[in-house]
Amino acid sequence: MQGPMLRCVLGTRIMPTALSVKVEMVSLSSNIGLHGRRAGEAKAGSPLRTPMRRKGSMRDRLLLTPALQAELEWLAGEGPPNVARHARIVLGRTRGMSIPAVAASVGVHPNTVRNCLRRFEMHGLRGLAHASAGKPKNIAFSDAIRDEIARVAMHSPTHAGEPHAQWSLRRLRSHLLRRGVIQAISVEGLRQLLRGLPLPPAYWRRTARPIRGLSTEMRRALESLAEGPRKDRAIRAQIVLASGRGLNEAEIAAALHIGRVTVRRWLRRFRRAGILGLQSQPRGAVYSHQVRQLVVHTATSSPRSYGVARPTWSLQSLQSALIRHRIVRSISLEYLRRILHDAGVSLRDAQRHQVPDRSPAVVG
């Protein structure tokens, strides 16, 4: 057993028990041989000096002394879990295994293997007790757990006792955690795990359908907007045009370097209000052509027919009447003025075109 050497290098205390040997980690700031020195400054005669590597990349094979090799083998079998894992990583490299092969055998990410080897080269055995190495960063699931996750994902959520009819990654993750199938997994990790599976479209939420059937006039208007001076409106027009060509939300977001939420928002507004929905209206809603026609019809009608005791409209009285009669939920005076201007309606001239109202006056 290499107990004395382990205590010298890692600062551990060995406490034999009836069935096993329990290893407790104590302060690494104790007086130990390599404390306070860089790995390359260790004594040349020390059997545990920093491992040597031929000049080159990390693909080269580690060169260990017999004493250091024996210490690593003891740590791999008797050391604390994190130290034993790192010792197995180093031993795997000494046997000529590639970094991906070592990662697969230990159950960690290849980046974890590279970081462990780098710390071992810099600090020797002390680098195996890295403070942030309590567990692997990427959990490697067994084949049984992977099969169970795939089985749940391939069936209806109602079959698994869920109230919804379709899965999403977050819904599936919550279900697996609640049932105890897995202890922890990220949404992105679940996405990678399900990659390549033929998930049934009936049980999985998909992105919104691409916009189909753009008319020639609409396509020309969108292309003109996409080439215009307003960068924000140009991007919105490009979103609609890309969706019309059959691209999904993820592809559009990647091509235009924007978020999927932004893509989804402007596609939804285009479906609701057409090309007018691509204009920014921070203080109010964007109204469809039908709603705008109702606003113009109200402005060219007699105010008395809407319960307003005055012969002509003002912007304030028209705004109040539109909201009171639930033609719109809310509308700003500036947006109302713009609608009337686009329709060629002037409130001063509208009185000439109004049909005389012979209904009794409304007492205001």
On whether both 249 and 173 belong to a single domain, the answer is no
DSSP states along 181-232: S-S---HHHHHHHHTT----GGGB--PPPPP----HHHHHHHHHHHTSS-HH
Are the C-beta atoms of residues 273 and 264 closer than 8 Å to each other? no
The C-alpha atoms of residue 204 and residue 293 are separated, in whole angstroms, by: 40
Taking only Cα atoms into account, the Rg of the chain, rounded to an integer number of angstroms, comes to: 36
Q: Is the pLDDT of residue 19 over 50?
A: no
Residue 36: pLDDT band (50, 70, 90) is very low
- Does 328 reside within a domain? yes
Q: Do both 77 and 178 map to the same domain?
A: no
What are residue 183's phi and psi, to 5 degrees? -90, -35
pLDDT at residue 238 in the model: 92
112 plus 193 within the same structural domain: no
Asked whether residue 230 falls in the same domain as residue 171, the answer is no
Say if residue 298 is in the same domain as residue 192: no
What are residue 167's phi and psi, to 5 degrees? Answer: -85, 155
Residue 330 falls within a domain, yes or no? yes
Residue 181 lies in a domain: yes
Residue 98 has, within 13 A of its CA and on its CB side, a CA count of 3
- Tens digits of per-residue pLDDT, 257-272? 888 778 888 888 888 8
What token pair was written down for 352?
A: 């000439």
Global pTM reads 0.31
**For residue 105, what are the CA distances in angstroms to 35, 70, 149?**
31, 20, 22
Residue type, 160: A
Closest CA to 118 of 108, 106, 127: 127
- Distance from C-alpha of 71 to C-alpha of 90, rounded to nearest angstrom: 11
Q: Which segments of the chain does DSSP mark as H helices, in order?
A: 3-10, 66-78, 81-94, 99-106, 110-123, 143-153, 169-179, 187-194, 216-226, 231-244, 249-256, 260-273, 289-299, 315-324, 333-342, 347-353
Indicate the pLDDT class of residue 328, thresholds 50, 70 and 90: confident
Question: Do 180 and 117 share a domain, yes or no?
Answer: no
Are 68 and 168 within one domain? no
Are residues 306 and 321 in contact, defined by beta-carbon separation less than 8 angstroms? yes
**Tokens at 331, concatenated:** 């509308």
> How much of the chain, in percent, has pLDDT values that exceed 90?
7
Look at residue 296 and tell me if it is in a domain.
yes
Tokens standing for residue 190: 């679940």
- Structurally, the chain folds into a number of domains equal to 4
Does residue 64 lie in a domain region? yes
Same domain, 161 and 117: no
Same domain, 72 and 182: no
* pLDDT (mean) for 295-303: 90
Q: Is residue 283 in a domain? A: no
Which residues have C-beta within 8 Å of that of residue 55, sequence separation ≥ 6?
none
Is residue 136 one of the residues assigned to a domain?
A: no
Q: What is the pLDDT of residue 9?
A: 44
For residue range 122-176, what is the model confidence (pLDDT) as tens digits?
888 888 876 554 444 556 788 889 899 999 999 988 888 888 888 888 889 889 9
Give me the domain span that covers residue 185: 143-203
**pLDDT tens per residue, range 70-116:** 888 888 887 788 888 888 999 988 888 888 888 888 888 888 888 88
Length of the chain, please? 364
Same domain, residue pair 236 and 304: no
Residues 199 and 220 in one domain: no
Report if residue 195 sits inside a domain.
yes
Same domain, 172 and 256: no
